[in-house]
Amino acid sequence: MIIACGLLALAGCSKQSEKTVEITRDIMTDKVKGAWAGKMIGVMYGRPMEFACNDRMYTDSIKWAPENVTGSLLEDDIYGQMCFMATMERIGIDAPIDSLAHDFAYAGFGLCHANLQGRKNYLDGLRGDEISTPANNIHCDDIDFQIECDFIGFINPCMPASSDSLCERVGAVMSAGDGLYAGMYLSAMHAMAYNCSNIDSLVVKALDAIPAESGYARIINDVIECHRTNPDDWTAAWNMLNEKWAPYDICTPYLPFNIDAKLNGAYIVTGLLYGGGDWTRTMNITVGCGQDTDCNTSNAAAVLGIIDGYDAIPDVYKSHIPSIADELFNHTPYSFNKAVKQTLAFIEETVARNGGSVTDEAFIIKEQQPVAPEFVPGHQELRLGDVIAVADNNPAMRFTGNWVDFVYGNGDEDPYKVATTPGDALDMEFDGTGIAILGSWDTDGGRARITIDGKPVKEIDTYYVTMAGKYQGNRAYLFFVTDLADGHHTFRMENLEDRNPASTGNRLYVERALIYNRAD
């Protein structure tokens, strides 16, 4: 039983503050099991269509068999956040950013985009709040923290202010701006779902956890308004999002592939609102929106899992989970059963430290209202101006020295230019407010001096513990700057003789340049 102020509170989101919510241990366990089961079910329901529809809706049927859930044991959508759980289990929920980043950096799994840049930044020596600021991570608005935030809401039932605080530490490892607010919003929704079954109220109230002026809050409000005016046609929301928001992904603006946290977060909310609490319809719509379907459907299904609890999940989705409940998720010490047990242990701690209490029979929670942090923008105002690729033989790219041609092959046929000796240089002129150089990091990556308008601005190190940059959607950003005065600029990247002691060479892998402008 869930009791709030002596009354059953199962329908709407409370607007009261300082309210005590009592959740029996049996119901809390059922909801925690539902949360993790939702992650497992959703990620595999959306997995077949991941990035298969990047600029269009998917409206065909989706095949499902209960045993499909087994694949969730291998999914980064789950084991990524369990890395942070393991750190907090080892040294405490108050684990500092550097401890979280250290364990993430040295985990035995590969990463992409914001996660990868955060890992490299830590390995390159950045610490604390500097690891993934907008100035240090071009991917900070990407989806990565949205994928990995769920457990934060899971362990803070009815306490979105507490979840926001934890998000600020975990999210700093790979995100800022809308990427951080994505995790805060989803975690707040998970936290409040323990005592709120009204999805319409839930998606609105969770907005109080993030700054209203953020792009993330604005896009979610657009979906809410679209649902209010056109509640029976989810494609109306998709069309609105595709026209107004989809073109502005800073990570891969030259591709229909889009991992912007805002857009994918809007797809989650589209699925939840138009799905109306029905598991199949919610997941079908979320997948139907396209892009990162496995991540988005996993986030959405976790919300339903908390609201409904494990026992109420349709058998067609959960029936195979008991047979794999003691098998470990890849790269983690957790099985489904162990994750549930550890989540409940964390909940006991968060409830007590936030003024509540725990008995053998129940959790007595001091319910919190979400409180938005001060707004700090990411890259939401950037717009792509031009793309200059090595493949185009554009004279705007002037290579001097001993550059050689290079192609990865095996599905990545884009031409590179690779500097091989100190003194090799790339010179460019461009008009705009920013520039990014894309290519690859590698074990033989060298260091380079970046000069803009005749002034040295930075030395970069392109060494990395493994090759990182193969395939267009995963290019490494060797260098970027976004805050130049609007106008004409010169750019120079010069290969240095000095190199990382761990590197086996002085190579610089360059595939294209992006020119940015600020939005009007």
Each domain of the chain, given as residue ranges in start order, spans: 2-366, 382-518
pLDDT for res 160: 98
423's torsion region: left (phi>0), alpha (psi -120 to 50) or beta?
A: left
pLDDT for res 3: 58
Low-confidence ranges of the chain (pLDDT < 50): 5-12, 14-16
Structure tokens that stand for 445 in this block: 């990556």
Does this chain's domain 2-366 share its CATH topology with 382-518? no
Contacting residues for 59 by C-beta, under 8 A, at least 6 apart: 288
For 170-183, write each residue's pLDDT tens digit. Answer: 999 999 999 999 99
- pTM recorded for the entire structure: 0.95
Kind of pairing, strands 487-495 and 425-432?
antiparallel
pLDDT for res 249: 86
HSE at residue 246, side-chain half, CA atoms within 13 A, is 19
Longest alpha-carbon distance in the chain: 77
CA dist 220 and 218 (Å) reads 6
CA dist 374 and 85 (Å) reads 26
pLDDT for res 15: 44
CA dist 1 and 31 (Å) reads 12
User: CATH assignment of 2-366, given 1.10.3720.10, 1.10.4080.10, 1.20.120.550, 3.40.50.1970?
Assistant: 1.10.4080.10
pLDDT for res 13: 54
User: CATH assignment of 382-518, given 2.60.120.260, 1.50.10.10, 3.20.20.80, 3.30.420.40?
Assistant: 2.60.120.260
CB burial of 371-394 (b: ≥16 within 10 Å; e: otherwise) equals ebbeeeebbbbbbbbbebbbeeee
Q: What is the strand order of the sheet 20-24 is part of? A: 7-8, 2-4, 20-24, 362-366, 357-358
